[in-house]
Amino acid sequence: MEYIQAPAASSQGNILCCTCGVPIPPNPANMCVACLRTQVDISEGIPKQVTVHFCKQCERYLQPPATWVQCALESRELLSLCLKKIKSSMTKVRLIDAGFLWTEPHSKRIKMKVTIQKEVLNGAILQQVFVVEFVVQNQMCDDCHRVEAKDFWKAVVQVRQKTSHKKTFYYLEQLILKHKLHSNALNIKEIHDGIDFYYGLKQHAQKMVDFLQCTVPCRSKASQRLISHDIHSNTYNYKSTFSVEIVPVCKDNVVCLSPRLAQSLGNMGQVCVCVRVTSTIHLIDPATLQIAEVDGNTYWRNPFNSLCNPRQLEEFIVMDIDIIRDQKLGAGAGTRSSRHTLAEVWVQKTSEMDTSQQYHCRTFLGHLLNIGDLVLGFDFANSNINDEHLNKMNPHHIPDVVLIKKGYDRARRVKRRNWKLQEMARDREGMDTDDERQYQDFLEDLEEDEALRKNVNIFRDASKIPVESDTDDDGAPQISLAEMLEELSLTDATGEEGADMLTD
């Protein structure tokens, strides 16, 4: 028996490089890799230094031809933008890999390592790695250029209120800050009877108008002006203007309703007091405690004006008070307030203490007033008022005095106030000297009205000692610490104020 031996496995032999003579495995070019790279440069034609444009104002990069994109360092977006800069020169090679090399963030240089492949010399495939350096050059984008040229806005929202007090604007400012609607505004300018919001996009302005219509009773009008027109591409450039008018009624205003409106609100009295302005006007009848809400549409159909402003309020002292327990309302009467107490009071002006002149009236402040307390009110008996609805009323139905709110020591309230509010950064023009007093009135309203401050972010003032009690010594209301927010301090992470907490 004969054994047949299996054929020996064939092994591939080496050849000598035709240039340097080094033994190498056979390849179509018959050359080693080192010699092949000296003969052929597959990265030829690909630029090794490219310029990218960067806007310092908005921190965006230019993506040709005219698009500016937001890219972080060493991000996928920035890698895609850099590859597009050299894409036109890489049509004859195959991209294998690309990545960033670390550089100093302030060096104005971005280095990218690129790996490519290409078929050379009789079908041999050569792979090469090289570095492309991108030089960052500063260039202002069109949007920032318009901002610097003071011709940047495409839409403006003009908010106006024809009153002598700015309580509604202070409340509106806090709502805007809470919902961060001011972040899209390019500029905010405050003028005498309102405030203007400038936007770069019409959509942002329309969003602000929608917010105002849901927040305060108002009406709006829109208009636009043609700036330029391209007849070739049939494109138009407009500037839009939105005019928003807020109802001219503020908190603590005395108003006189028309007979028709008073009847539709539950047969309430025509002389009412505005206790709050939110998305509607909240009214209360000081003679019956009836309450009603008037929205924007109802107001513009049956408008009424304020009979007095805060400067006309006079200080009275309570001489006698009698709580009315059982008050019967007529047929068709509306809802009565459960937060107030009806009372009959005798008051005397603090400026007429040397006389025997006293005034009798009904008030909704029976739960707050005691004999000897100071109260602010409006004197109808000694005032000359021109109002079409008030002039047609029966004089016997017009009260002598309408009491608005209880008076406290303002200096003591300011001293004990351990909280603060944020403010919007805005340009001020034609400011009155009375603004500080009006702002203090608004802060006092927040302390007295719990429902009003639910929509406001109140921050604890670290510079003042916190007060845990809800009332002052004289009974003035205070905001509790549970309702306050801690203001964020960015210095805690930098080792300044909060360094001891980070090192423990």
Domain borders along the chain are 12-41, 51-142, 153-246, 253-407, 414-468+477-483
pLDDT confidence of residue 190 = 86
The least confident of 8-22, 147-161, 191-205, 378-392 is: 8-22
Q: Cα(446)–Cα(452) distance, rounded to whole angstroms?
A: 6
Q: What is the mean pLDDT of residues 69-89?
A: 89
pLDDT for 2 beyond 70: no
Contact (CB, 8 A) for 208 and 186: no
Average pLDDT over residues 86-106: 87
Indicate the pLDDT class of residue 15, thresholds 50, 70 and 90.
confident
Asked which of 82-86, 178-182, 429-433, 437-441 is least confident by mean pLDDT, the reply is 429-433
Residue 120: is its pLDDT beyond 90? no
- Identity of the amino acid at 177: L
Compute φ and ψ for 243, nearest 5 degrees. Answer: -105, 120
pLDDT mean over 171-189: 86
DSSP state at residue 278: S
Per-chain mean pLDDT for the chain? 82
Residue holding tokens 């930098």? 494
**Average pLDDT of the residues in 225-247:** 86
Q: What size, in residues, is the chain?
A: 504
Contact 288, 344 (CB under 8 A): no
C-alpha radius of gyration, the chain, whole number: 38
Q: How far is CA 487 from CA 345, 454, 459, in A?
A: 44, 17, 6
Mean pLDDT of 267-284: 90
**CB neighbours of 337 closer than 8 A, spacing ≥ 6?**
284, 289, 290, 291, 364
Q: Higher pLDDT residue, 255 or 146?
A: 255
Query: Above 70 in pLDDT, residue 99?
Result: yes
Q: What is the pLDDT of residue 6?
A: 54
Answer yes or no: is pLDDT of 466 > 70: no
Q: Which of 27-31, 86-90, 469-473 has the lowest mean pLDDT?
A: 469-473
* pLDDT exceeds cutoff 50 at 492: no
Supply the pLDDT for residue 472: 45
* Cα dihedral sign, 468-471-476-478: positive
More confident of the two residues 146 and 181: 181
Amino acid 218: pLDDT: 92
Region 97-122: mean pLDDT is: 86
Q: Does domain 51-142 have CATH number 3.30.2320?
A: no
pLDDT, residue 493, reads: 42
- Of 279 and 429, the one with more pLDDT: 279
Residue 496 has pLDDT above 80, yes or no: no
Task: List the structure tokens of 183.
Answer: 């972040």
pLDDT on residue 256? 92
* Mean pLDDT for the stretch of residues 292-296: 91
- Give the model's confidence band at 495: pLDDT under 50 very low, under 70 low, under 90 confident, else very high: very low
Tell me the C-alpha distance between 459 and 48, whole Å.
55
pLDDT band of 27, cuts 50, 70, 90: confident
pLDDT exceeding 90 applies to what percent of the chain? 25
Nearest to 139 by CA among 61, 44, 211, 246: 61
| Per-residue model confidence as pLDDT tens digits over 311-364 | 788 899 999 999 988 777 766 677 888 888 999 999 999 888 888 889 999 999
pLDDT (0 to 100) of residue 432: 60
On the question of pLDDT at 490 being above 50, the answer is: no
pLDDT of 210 higher than 70: yes
| Helix residue spans in 346-489 (DSSP H) | 388-391, 410-416, 435-448
Q: Provide the 10 A C-beta neighbour count for residue 299.
A: 19
What CA–CA distances, in Å, run from 326 to 55, 143, 289, 491?
72, 67, 12, 60
Mean pLDDT in residue range 74-100: 88
CA distances to 260, 292, 394 from 302, rounded to whole Å, are 8, 14, 20
Question: What is the bridge-based pairing of β-strands 60-63 and 49-55?
Answer: antiparallel
> Quick one: pLDDT at residue 283?
93
User: Hey, CA dihedral for 287, 290, 293, 298, is it positive or negative?
Assistant: negative
Which helix (H) or strand (E) segment is 205 a member of?
helix 202-215
How high is the pLDDT of residue 503?
A: 38
CB 283 within 8 A of CB 415: no
